[in-house]
Amino acid sequence: MELTATFHALKEWAVAIQALEAGKTIMLLRKGGIHEQGGRFQVAQEQVLLYPTYEHQQPFLLKPEYANRVISVTSGWHPERICIGSWATITNILPISEENIVNQLLPFHIWNEHFICDRLKWKPRQPLFVLLLRVYKLAQIEEISYRQEYGGCKSWIHLEHPISIENAIPALPESTYNQIVSEISHIIGDRLYTPSK
């Protein structure tokens, strides 16, 4: 049965979501929030709304063309109204630990070498997860009220009300998306896998 609405959401820096929606990237790099279940990153849902966050965006961890889009906010700040403009299917998940592999992926995401180094060193026994997302822009941007349970260092949240994803438009044509996935797969070899359905 085709999904028509969902309340599952993945939290990510607003600048990253903007790049995903614009088709500038299909990749996110995650190691999990402080409050992840069991202290480890896990993909809770494969089809998720993209929930923009602002508090922890760090311009010095981004490539220059994205760093200048970040507006600094004070610790604990959040907008009272959140704009949800897209959803995504997480098509591939890849845990990697080798710095040389991660460095080869640099052209495919928005972060710089400092971010990669920082992420690999934090919890070094845990891998860095590469997520590949097929992103769709909602037919109309949905504005929702901020709720306290949406805050905190966690990746996955459940919105109070589901949001329709009907008539959403792909950020990239399927052929273009598949080509990028193929290029990434060539770099990382046969370790690229698709989540089980």
**pLDDT score, position 106:** 92
Domain assignment present for residue 10? The answer is yes
3-state secondary structure the chain: CCCCEEEEEEEEEHHHHHHHHCCCCCEEEECCCCCCHHHCCCCCCCEEEEEEECCCCCHHHECHHHHCCCCCCCCCCCCCEEEEEEEEEEEEEEEECCHHHHHHCHHHCCECHHHHHHHHHCCCCCCEEEEEEEEEEEEEEEEEECCHHHCCCCCEEEEEEEEECCCCEECCCHHHHHHHHHHHHHHHHHHCECCCC
Domain assignment present for residue 163? The answer is yes
Lowest mean pLDDT among 26-30, 38-42, 60-64, 86-90: 38-42
Q: Is the per-residue pLDDT at 194 higher than 80? A: no
pLDDT tens figures, 76-98: 788 899 999 999 999 998 888 88
How many structural domains are present in the chain?
1
**pLDDT score, position 117:** 73
Considering the chain, what percentage of its residues have pLDDT values greater than 90?
A: 55
Domain assignment present for residue 196? The answer is no
**pLDDT score, position 62:** 92
Contact 47, 6 (CB under 8 A): yes
Task: Label residue 39 by pLDDT band (50, 70, 90).
Answer: low
Q: Give the residue with greater pLDDT, 56 vs 184.
A: 184
pTM, 2 dp? 0.89
Beta bridge partners of 93: 131, 193
Q: What average pLDDT does this structure show over 67-80? A: 85
Beta strand 81-96 with 128-145: parallel, antiparallel or unpaired?
A: antiparallel
Contact 82, 146 (CB under 8 A): yes
Range of the domain at 153: 5-191
Q: What average pLDDT does this structure show over 29-41? A: 61
Q: What average pLDDT does this structure show over 46-51? A: 96
Q: Give the residue with greater pLDDT, 128 vs 181.
A: 181
Domain assignment present for residue 84? The answer is yes
Q: Identify the CATH number of the domain in which residue 68 sits.
A: 2.30.130.30
Domain assignment present for residue 125? The answer is yes
Q: Is the per-residue pLDDT at 10 higher than 90? A: yes
Domain assignment present for residue 49? The answer is yes
**pLDDT score, position 47:** 95
Beta strand 47-53 with 5-13: parallel, antiparallel or unpaired?
A: parallel
Task: Label residue 193 by pLDDT band (50, 70, 90).
Answer: low
Domain assignment present for residue 197? The answer is no
Domain assignment present for residue 77? The answer is yes
Q: Is the per-residue pLDDT at 190 higher than 70? A: no
